[in-house]
Amino acid sequence: MAAPTWQQGKTGIAEDMKKSKSDKSHSRKGQSHVGARYAVGLDYGTNSVRALVVNVANGEEVGTAVCNYPSGSEGILLDPRDHNLARQSPLDYVKGLQQVVVDALKQARHLAGVTPDQIVGLGVDTTGSTPIPVDDQNRPMCLRPEFKKNLNAYAWLWKDHTAYREAAAITEAAKKNRPQYLAKCGGVYSSEWYWSKVLHCLNVDPVLFDAAYAWIEMEDYIPAVLCGVEHPEAVVRGVCAAGHKAMYNPRWGGMPDAEFLSSLHPKLARVRERIAAPAAAIDHQAGRLTAGWAAKLGLKPGIPVAVGAFDAHLGAVGSGIKTGTLVKIVGTSTCDIMAAKTSVPDITGVCGIVEGSVLPGYFGIEAGQSAVGDIFRWFVKFICQGNDRLQVKLTEEARALKPGASGLMALDWNNGNRTILVDPQLTGLLVGMTLHTSRVEIYRALLEATAFGALTIINRIEEYGIPIERVVCCGGISEKNDLFMQIYADVLNRPMYISRSAQTCALGAAIAGALAAGAHPSIESAIEAMTGVKKKVYRPIPGHVAVYRELYVVYKTLHDAFGVSGAVPVTRVMKELLKIKAKVLGI
């Protein structure tokens, strides 16, 4: 494998709602903080790590800091020979951890007089599935001199798709011998997930695989580091990663059985033996902060560290998730998260249904799109050769276009399809271009394509009898891009709410820390006290809804033609787009 690529380097019509309890501001300047208790949330995103200090009584955010990962391209180690490869350095995780906690606590001390004695717990969210090969002392293999230049010895980032062949093999084997394994993860195992990546390493780099003692998910690794866990078997694993990405389920004894794993490769069952302990939800403790890390961070030793979870799942917690609410975590990709109190039917094409993965005592449902913000960034950077300011300009220009006026339709598969087709080898598509097509028309078509992809996910979930009563969005795009939010409101034909916090993943992690510390008696009471939504709501525009309803038929035709076996005819697509365009423009 090549050496790491060491280069520098994770936006309509709005109206005010009447102020309600859930809309209460989280900024309380002048309020006394004497005797208040706080939790720290650590949010490990795709390109950076963030810390947030939060009042456990009311969700007030009093300190924050962020650190970009220094290695690779925007924190990602790449191989120019393989566009599917995406790795990260665990050293970036640990160095960034110390910096952001110290800086966030410094701000909290300045703004609210927070002292170390007031910090009662700490929670962690990370990307995933992002497994790390480690030795028998729980140290990443990339720290060993002989593997320093081997990308396989680093963290395998969630967006790494090198294991697509292994994912297909796992899917076929499970269909024949363990169909129950696939039933809880949408019927298809993904190249983004744990066993695919481990098996791929075994196939392409047996030397590294044999040298590694275990593979630990990043969501479990960070809490283990903070708690001084020195052996992989002692790591307290979160049910979020285990259930959604590694086919863990108590119904069949935890991880996939040794016989099934051995059928994929005789050595694969060894990995299971070293991560065989039961997985836990975020109300459990991964351990307690060591004296060494307490000194580095400026915290008290012994405070509880919550079991880790994925950023999207804790982002849903920080957005105030409850039954009937779909939370969309909108960023480079999107994750769609729901929680149900009763058992959920198996949903074809949905990433996973796991008990306890979002809220303890509830069934978590995960879906999503492999690229959203990444598509807009790609278009501006590589096609328009521009920068962030150009994206703002394109957004303003696209606002003036009417839905359907461009005559364009795109498929949002530039990084494969996560839901509902679960196929990493699908690619993007743009139909309807003429010699008059402008870049702003293309940009708007890409925005609309991601909204059509979101609608496809919602339709699939509701087809299985799970009602979606409210949609709440969080993430930078939902905070900054009014046009994006209005298009989504129009395409989905639903009001679009925005989480009160701009840092929902870190807030969710802090809620986990508070829960693990016993600061709230239940996850429901913690969410009620610490979360809310903004007053601004994006509501559907009826005229736009009608046009998008027509356009969605075209999108779904292309979706099925290119993504589903037994393709449907597409001969009418181009002419149908022109027909809609003419009607919208009145020509």
- Do the Cβ atoms of 118 and 38 come closer than 8 Å? yes
**Total of domains in the chain:** 2
pLDDT of residue 475: 87
> Is residue 140 located within the same domain as residue 258?
yes
DSSP lists the bridge partners of residue 287 as 305
Domain match, 92 and 174 both: yes
- 448 and 530 within one domain: no
What pLDDT is attached to residue 12? 38
Q: Identify whether residues 530 and 549 lie together within a single domain.
A: no
Q: Is residue 531 part of a domain?
A: yes
- E-state strands within 157-274: 214-217
Which among 326, 554, 344, 377 is positioned nearest to 481, based on CA atoms? 377
* Each residue's pLDDT tens digit, 350-408: 888 999 999 999 999 999 999 999 999 999 989 998 877 898 899 999 999 999 999 99
Give the tens place of pLDDT for each residue, 531-582. Answer: 999 999 999 999 999 999 999 999 999 999 999 877 677 878 888 898 999 9
Task: Write a three-state SS string for 443-466.
Answer: HHHHHHHHHHHHHHHHHHHHHCCC
Q: What is the chain's mean pLDDT, rounded?
A: 92
- CATH number reported for the structural domain that contains residue 217 in this entry: 3.30.420.40
pLDDT over threshold 60, residue 98: yes
| pLDDT grade for 2, boundaries at 50, 70 and 90 | very low
Residue 16: is its pLDDT beyond 50? no
Distance CA 410, CA 443 (A): 10
Same domain, 435 and 516: no
63 close to 108: Cβ distance less than 8 angstroms: yes
Tell whether 469 is covered by a domain: no
Domain co-membership, 518 together with 408: no
Q: How far apart are CA 362 and CA 189, in angstroms?
A: 23
Tokens of 285: 């403790």
Query: Region 178-189: what's the mean pLDDT?
Result: 90
* Token pair 């009311």: residue: 58
Mean pLDDT score, 5-18: 33
Q: What pTM, to 2 d.p., does this model score?
A: 0.87
| 260 pLDDT more than 50 | yes
Q: For residue 34, what pLDDT band results from cuts at 50, 70 and 90?
A: low
Handedness of CA 455, 458, 463, 469 (dihedral sign): negative
Q: How confident is the model at residue 93 (pLDDT cuts 50, 70, 90)?
A: very high
The answer on 524 and 455 residing in a single domain is no
**Cα(501)–Cα(475) distance, integer angstroms:** 9
Confidence of residue 147 (pLDDT cuts 50, 70, 90): very high
Q: Do 526 and 514 meet the contact criterion of CB atoms below 8 Å apart?
A: yes
**Domain encompassing residue 391:** 373-460+544-585
pLDDT tens track for 199-235 = 999 999 999 999 999 999 999 999 999 999 999 999 9
Given this model, what pLDDT does residue 25 score? 39
DSSP-assigned beta bridge partners for residue 498:
473
Does residue 270 form part of some domain?
Answer: yes
Would residue 93 count as lying in a domain?
yes
Per the domain annotation, does 342 fall within a domain? no
Task: Give domain status of residue 405, yes or no.
Answer: yes
* Structural domain includes residue 482: no
Whole-number Å distance between alpha carbons of 489 and 538: 6
